[in-house]
Amino acid sequence: SSQSFEDFPKRSEVPVAGQTFFTDASKQNKKAAITWQQHGKWKDHIIEKHTGSSLQTLELAAVVWVFQQWKEDPINIVSDSLYVVGVVRRVERSVLKELHNPVLSELFL
């Protein structure tokens, strides 16, 4: 008989015991912000818009930054972008085709 193993999912629909990050992007100032509390103090990180970025890819860049900085830790990310939430929900088990949008290609690599 054939056996297959499935990785334990890394995404959860309910909050996990870990740091919580809030992301938002602004069309007006063309920046994305990430905020979180560390040792009782609020911290933040700002991401400037790249050439060719949309509001959605700018907020996706903020979420990717969080994943890169805390890749070994359980984290919670709060985003008001339906696009970003949808991408994060689907990307874990996806096989990505070649993307013709260089901004998206960079974010997914």
Q: What pLDDT is attached to residue 3?
A: 63
Amino acid identity, position 85: V
Cβ pair 87, 94 in contact under 8 A: no
- pLDDT score of 98: 64
CA–CA dist 3, 36 (Å, integer) = 42
CATH topology of domain 19-108: Nucleotidyltransferase; domain 5 (3.30.420)
- The predicted structure's pLDDT at residue 46: 98
Question: Per-residue pLDDT tens for 40-79?
Answer: 999 999 999 877 788 999 999 999 999 999 989 999 999 9
